[in-house]
C-alpha cells in the first residue's frame, strides 16, 4: 500500500488545514517566519477545495484534525498538553480531542460487546449508559453488572478504526520516505523508524485484551504508591474490541475550575503527577505512556486515578540508569558527567568532543534551572535542544521516543496545574532515591548478586557445560590442553563459591 498514491492523502491533509482555517492558526502558534507563512499559503490555497470541511461548530485546528482521522487526533492530544508551545487558547481547544469527540451509536457498541463476549448484553449488564467519553480510538460507557450490581467503565473500539489507522500510518510512511530522500540531513532523525515505532504503539492500542493485561501489570506495580490507584481489572469482560474496568469516580485533570471548587491542592497534584511518572519509569521500568489530562482523574479523597492503558512504555534497567544519571547530572549542574553518560551510552558519536558537548549542555540547562514553569519557554528550549542534537550528530533513539514524549506530556500536565512549578526541584527526590539504590557500590553488589543468582540456577550443570565448551575447541598448539574431569570439577567448585558469595551479599543488601 505504501506508494505514490499517498501523495493524494498528504495533499488532502494540507488542503484540509487550509480549508478549515487551521493553517493560519498553527502558523501563528508556531510564530512562523514570513517566508514559511507565504510558502504554506501558496502551496495550500490552490488545493483548498480538496480538503475535508469538518464540523463547522468546532474551532479550526480541532475541526481539521478530527476530519483527518485518528492518527492526526493523537498528535493533537499531545499538543493539547503544551500551552507553552501552541498557546493557551489553542491548547484549551485541543483538549476536546482527549475525551470529547463525537461518539458512535450505542447500538453499535452493544453489538460489538455481544460479539466479543458471546452473550446478550442484558445478561451482562443491568444498566448501560450513553457514551460518557469518546476519544480517537474508542468510547466509554458507564454500566452496572447484572450479577452483583458493581459499576464498571466499558470501553469499546470505534467501528472501522483499524482500517482508518492503517490508512493514516501508510501515508506517514510515505511522507517519512520523501523527507529522507529530499533532505539527507534529516536521516539522523530516522523519520521512518519513528513512524514504525508509532505504528507499533497504535497496534497495541487496537487490541483491548493487551490493554487489560497492561492495566493489571500496572496496578500490581503501583499497589504501594500512596495517593495513586488503578481501577480494578475485570478479566471476564476482556475482549479484543471491548473491555471493562471498575468505575472510577473523580474530576478530570483538565477541569481546573471543578478541581478548585472541590478544594484539591493543585500544586500538590502537579508534583504528584511528575513524581509518579518518574518513579514508575525509573523504579519499575514500566510507565503510562499517554498521561494527558483526559486520562487522569482526582478522586474525592484526593487520590490520583489513572485511566486508559492502551499505550504503556517499558525501558530496560541499563537505560533507566542512563536516564537517571542524566537527570541527576542536570539537577547537580554536573554537565561534564551528563556529557560523559551520553558518550558512554552511545547517544553521541565517539568522534565528538566531550568537553564541547558539556558546554552545549550547560547552555541548555543553566538558563532554565532556577526558573519556574511560567517563566520558561518550552518552545525555545526544544528549538535549542534540536540545534544541539544536530550539531553533535545525535540520532533519534527509537527506544526512547515514548519515554521522551511522555515526559513532555507529563510536564505539560503538571504545568497546567501549577504554572509556577520548578520541575528540577520536584524531580530531585525521586531521582536521588533511584541513584542511591541503583548507581554506585550498592548497584554493583546488586548486579553481582543477580549474576550469581543465574549461576546458582545452572550450578548442577556447570561441570558438563565447561567440559562441553572446552571439547568443542579446535586443536591449537598455542592453546592449553583439554582439562581433566577433576579440573572441570574445580571450575565448577569455584562457580559454587561465587554462588555462595552472592547469596551472602544478597543477605546484606
Asked if 355 and 331 touch (Cβ cutoff 8 Å), the reply is no
Asked if 299 and 104 touch (Cβ cutoff 8 Å), the reply is no
Please provide residue 252's backbone torsions phi and psi, each rounded to the nearest 5 degrees.
-65, 145
Rounded Cα distance between 96 and 115, Å, is 30
Write down the catalytic residue from 84, 290, 308, 418.
290
Cell numbers given for 436: 542511591
Rounded Cα distance between 502 and 478, Å, is 35
Rounded Cα distance between 308 and 212, Å, is 10
Rounded Cα distance between 86 and 83, Å, is 5
290 is catalytic: yes
Cell numbers given for 361: 549542555
Please provide residue 33's backbone torsions phi and psi, each rounded to the nearest 5 degrees.
-70, 160
Rounded Cα distance between 344 and 292, Å, is 33
Beta bridge partners of 139: 134, 156
Rounded Cα distance between 82 and 377, Å, is 11
Strands in 304-306's sheet, in edge-to-edge order, are 228-229, 304-306, 296-298, 251-252
Q: What would you measure as the largest C-alpha separation in the chain, in angstroms?
A: 85
Helix residue ranges, H only, 297-372: 317-331, 335-344, 354-369
Taking alpha carbons only, the member of 243, 246, 304 closest to residue 270 is 304
Task: Work out the number of other CB atoms within 10 angstroms of the CB of residue 197.
Answer: 18
Asked if 391 and 60 touch (Cβ cutoff 8 Å), the reply is no
Catalytic residue set: 290
Amino acid at each position: 500500500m505504501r506508494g505514490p498514491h499517498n501523495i493524494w492523502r498528504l495533499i488532502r491533509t494540507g488542503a484540509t488545514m487550509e480549508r478549515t482555517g487551521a493553517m493560519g492558526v498553527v502558523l501563528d502558534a508556531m510564530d512562523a517566519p514570513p517566508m514559511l507563512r507565504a510558502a504554506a499559503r501558496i502551496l495550500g490555497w490552490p488545493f483548498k477545495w480538496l480538503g475535508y470541511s469538518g464540523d463547522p461548530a468546532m474551532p479550526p485546528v480541532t475541526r481539521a484534525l478530527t476530519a483527518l482521522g485518528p492518527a492526526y487526533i493523537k498528535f493533537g492530544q499531545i499538543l493539547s498538553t503544551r500551552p507553552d508551545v501552541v498557546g493557551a487558547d489553542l491548547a484549551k481547544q485541543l483538549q476536546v480531542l482527549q475525551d470529547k469527540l463525537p461518539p458512535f451509536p450505542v447500538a453499535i457498541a452493544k453489538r460489538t460487546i455481544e460479539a466479543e463476549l458471546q452473550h446478550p448484553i442484558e445478561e451482562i449488564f443491568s444498566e448501560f449508559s450513553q457514551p460518557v467519553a469518546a476519544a480517537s480510538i474508542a468510547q466509554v460507557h458507564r454500566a452496572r453488572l447484572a450479577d452483583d450490581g458493581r459499576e464498571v467503565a466499558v470501553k469499546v473500539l470505534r467501528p472501522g478504526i483499524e482500517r482508518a489507522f492503517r490508512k493514516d500510518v501508510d501515508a506517514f510512511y510515505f511522507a517519512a520516505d520523501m523527507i529522507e530522500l529530499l533532505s539527507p540531513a534529516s536521516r539522523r532523525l530516522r523519520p521512518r523508524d519513528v513512524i514504525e515505532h508509532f505504528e507499533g504503539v497504535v497496534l497495541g492500542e487496537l487490541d483491548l485484551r493487551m490493554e487489560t493485561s497492561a492495566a493489571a501489570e500496572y496496578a500490581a506495580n503501583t499497589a504501594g504508591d500512596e495517593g495513586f490507584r488503578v481501577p480494578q481489572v475485570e478479566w471476564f469482560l476482556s475482549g479484543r474490541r471491548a473491555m471493562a474496568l471498575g468505575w472510577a469516580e473523580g474530576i478530570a485533570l483538565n477541569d481546573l475550575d471543578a478541581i478548585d471548587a472541590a478544594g484539591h491542592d493543585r500544586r500538590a497534584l502537579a508534583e504528584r503527577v511528575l513524581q509518579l511518572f518518574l518513579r514508575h519509569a525509573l523504579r519499575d521500568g514500566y510507565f503510562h505512556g499517554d498521561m494527558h489530562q483526559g486520562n487522569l482523574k482526582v478522586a474525592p479523597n484526593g487520590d490520583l486515578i489513572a485511566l486508559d492503558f492502551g499505550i504503556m512504555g517499558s525501558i530496560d534497567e541499563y537505560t533507566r540508569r542512563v536516564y537517571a544519571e542524566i537527570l541527576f547530572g542536570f539537577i547537580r549542574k554536573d554537565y561534564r558527567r551528563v556529557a560523559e553518560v551520553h558518550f558512554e551510552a552511545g547517544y553521541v558519536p565517539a568522534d565528538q568532543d566531550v568537553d564541547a558537548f558539556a558546554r552545549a549542555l550547560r547552555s541548555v540547562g543553566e538558563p532554565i534551572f532556577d526558573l519556574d514553569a511560567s517563566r520558561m519557554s518550552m518552545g525555545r528550549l526544544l528549538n535549542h535542544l534540536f540545534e544541539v542534537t544536530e550539531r553533535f550528530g545525535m540520532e533519534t533513539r527509537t527506544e526512547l521516543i515514548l519515554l521522551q514524549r511522555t515526559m513532555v506530556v507529563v510536564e505539560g500536565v503538571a504545568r497546567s496545574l501549577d504554572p509556577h512549578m520548578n520541575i528540577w526541584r520536584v524531580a530531585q527526590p525521586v531521582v536521588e532515591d533511584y541513584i542511591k539504590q541503583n548507581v554506585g557500590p550498592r548497584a554493583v553488589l546488586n548486579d553481582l548478586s543477580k549474576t550469581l543468582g543465574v549461576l546458582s540456577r545452572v550450578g548442577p550443570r556447570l561441570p558438563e557445560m565447561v567440559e562441553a565448551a572446552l571439547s568443542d575447541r579446535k586443536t591449537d598448539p598455542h592453546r592449553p590442553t583439554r582439562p581433566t574431569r577433576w579440573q572441570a570439577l574445580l571450575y565448577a567448585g569455584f562457580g559454587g563459591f561465587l554462588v555462595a558469595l552472592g547469596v551472602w551479599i544478597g543477605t546484606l543488601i
